[in-house]
Amino acid sequence: MNTFLQGIYYKTFKSSSKIYLLIAINVFVFLAINIPAIVEQLFMQSDALKSYAFDYLALPAYLPKLLTRFWTPLTYMFMHSGVFHVLFNMLWLYWMGQIFEDYLGDRRILGLYLLGGLAGAVLYIASYNTFPAFTHSSALVLSSAVGASASVMAVMVAAATIAPHYTISLMFIGPVKIKWLVLFYIVFDFLGITGPNAGGEIAHLGGALLGFVYVKQLQRGNDWVGGIAKLFKKRSKLKVVANNRNKKADGKPRQDEVDQILDKISKSGYENLSKQEKEILFRASKNES
């Protein structure tokens, strides 16, 4: 048990990947709200704690209320309405986050998560204060959004944009390319924007759009989350000086390197490439763009 807890602690706080940290924050917030709420309901037959938490941490669409809850565009993306809500969001974050980090490294997912959540919040608030279907009903005043879904959608779409042909196996379905899986979720969300969870579906689409645009900008050399990554980067006290006149780490890869990697793909498939080889291909595609 001790070793198990030490493993969780290391992956959460010591690992270079921020996937585990994001999952830990979401799970902690969910348990911190719901465990006391369950105790309160059992002994006091009241749900005041949960109502209070959602009132101050969920994202309201009504602008006058939003002005008094200005922190909620950040807090809502770590809130969840139920066990299955947080469970499936964290599973998709874990699966798609690993694909994203496999191609683009582990310095960007935290910033992408935050930007995806904020993009979802902006589209949600703008839609509810623009479209007559919401402004001419009680939905505007009563609606609030919770969940990491917009952030997770940003990660999913970013992964599908950078590696559209990456294949995963789904139960009862079999191998599926992630571009088709993500496209299915986007269409599903769009068809639900007039349903009972309209606010959530709209936020998902905002996160999805951010994930796509982010990767396209990154391929053009514009890294929107580089500054966020630097805030969490450990600084070493040692200085290492390297002299490599053959090539630069961020420059255009040599053509013979690219040809060797392409030959390897034709023989053993893309999934068998190392992280360094995938990074070389990514830099090559960025220079071509």
210: Cα separation from own chain's centroid: 10
pLDDT of residue 278: 75
The residue-averaged pLDDT of 111-129 equals 96
Q: Is the pLDDT score of 135 beyond 50?
A: yes
Beta partners for residue 59, in sequence order: 145
Question: What is the average pLDDT across 134-160?
Answer: 93
Render pLDDT for 274-285 as a digit per residue (tens, 0 to 9). 777 777 777 776
| Ranges of each domain in the chain | 57-231, 255-288
Task: Give tens-digit pLDDT for 173-222.
Answer: 889 999 999 999 999 999 999 888 999 999 999 999 999 999 999 888 88
pLDDT at residue 228 in the model: 62
**How many angstroms separate the CA atoms of 42 and 47, rounded?**
10
Please determine, for residue 33, whether its predicted confidence score (pLDDT) is greater than 80: yes
In percent, the amount of the chain with pLDDT more than 90 equals: 58
Predicted pLDDT at 257: 76
Structure token pair of residue 208: 């999805």
20 pLDDT tier (thresholds 50, 70, 90): very high
Domain 57-231 has CATH 1.20.1540.10: yes
